Amino acid sequence: MLFALAEWLWFWQPEATDPAPPAGAAAPPPDLGGGCAMQAGMLLVMVAIFYFLLIRPQQKRQKEHDEMLRSLRPGHVVRTSGGIRGEIVSLDERDAVLLVADRVKIHVLRSHIAGLDAPAAPAAAAKKEEPKKGDEPKKGDEGRKKSDEG
């Protein structure tokens, strides 16, 4: 009903008429459709911006990820997309077997490996090196060092 009313009102509107140009004035040049070319040009610019800012970087990241998946070998420490960290025990075309903890192995899809992770630091390297006996200050040296500093 509302649409019919709007159509009826549009139909009864008076037509706009251009006033006649003065007798000595030249007629305005015809519109050659430059707006369409401008819109097409803007569309091409937007497509180029989307390509260079969104599509191309994503393709580059995907290519690097595929290369990393091809270079995986047993012994590499990896992190899955779910956040599980483990060492690769075996690989095939589709799956990878990760050693997650002592005698705990899980099978994950190769495509769900997010990236390489740093290998675990050995326990010996994690401990602080204890000072050697020659480096320890003697009982009488402590008082002397404090007096030398101050």
Please tell me the predicted confidence (pLDDT) of residue 120: 59
Sign, Cα dihedral of 79, 82, 86, 92:
negative
Please tell me the predicted confidence (pLDDT) of residue 118: 79
- pLDDT band at residue 114 under the 50/70/90 scheme: very high
Please tell me the predicted confidence (pLDDT) of residue 15: 62
**Contacts of residue 77, Cβ cutoff 8 Å, sequence gap at least 6:** 85, 86, 87, 88, 116, 117, 118, 119, 120
The model scores a pTM over 0.75: no
> What is the enclosing helix (H) or strand (E) of 98?
strand 95-101
Share of the chain above pLDDT 70, in %: 56
- Distance, CA of 109 to CA of 132 (rounded, Å): 49
- Of 5 and 109, more confident: 109
Residue ranges of domains in the chain: 69-119
Which of 40-44, 52-56, 125-129, 140-144 bottoms out in mean pLDDT, i.e. has the lowest? 125-129
Average pLDDT over the chain, rounded to whole?
A: 78
CATH of range 69-119; options 1.20.1440, 1.10.287, 2.30.30, 1.10.10 = 2.30.30
Q: With 70 as the cut, is the pLDDT of residue 121 above it?
A: no
pLDDT tens figures, 17-42: 666 666 666 766 665 556 788 888 89
Average pLDDT over every residue of 49-57: 94
